[in-house]
Amino acid sequence: MSKSLQEKLHRQHRQWQDDHVAWRVDIDAWRGELRAAQAALEEVQNTLRGSLEALEVHADTVWESEQRARAHELTLCQEAMTGKPRKTDKQWAAVHSKQAARHERLTDTHARVRRHQQAVVAEVMKLLKRARTAM
């Protein structure tokens, strides 16, 4: 083997060694990043569990609102059928105003839940799709 070929091969081997060292540094850094990502995903899971619990509270609030509205309507119908109102128009207006305000707050809450739900689920699914095709 000629000296120039031997030198060329030797230089290439040194380059390979340098590559290996750099790759090991990358791999160590990536391990750390993946461990941090796993920890972040655990936090995301905990947050999603909390969101699911909050959604159940919201569902209960919606159910309670439905029940209040039905009871209110039933009472109004009964009073209309009997012709013997137990409350004055002013009292009914106050009750209705209070229920309308609750309903408006629930409308705002539901819209906020919808936006959050759509955004979070879309991002999680995008991340999952990306993670599945990464390597």
Q: What is the pLDDT of residues 13-49, one digit of tens each?
A: 999 999 999 999 999 999 999 999 999 999 999 999 9
Residue (of 132, 131, 125, 106) closest to 48 by Cα position:
125
Using the predicted structure, report yes or no on whether residue 59 has a pLDDT greater than 80: yes
**Residue-range definition of the domain harbouring residue 78:** 3-132
83/133: higher pLDDT = 133
Domains held by the chain: number: 1
Pair 85, 79: CB distance under 8 Å: yes
Confidence label for 84 from pLDDT (cuts 50, 70 and 90): confident
- Region 110-127: mean pLDDT is 97
Both structure tokens of 6: 């031997």
**Percent of residues in the chain assigned helix, strand, coil, to nearest 5:** 90, 0, 10
Cα 61 to Cα 52, 73, 94: the distances in Å are 14, 18, 21
Whether the predicted pLDDT of 86 surpasses 80: no
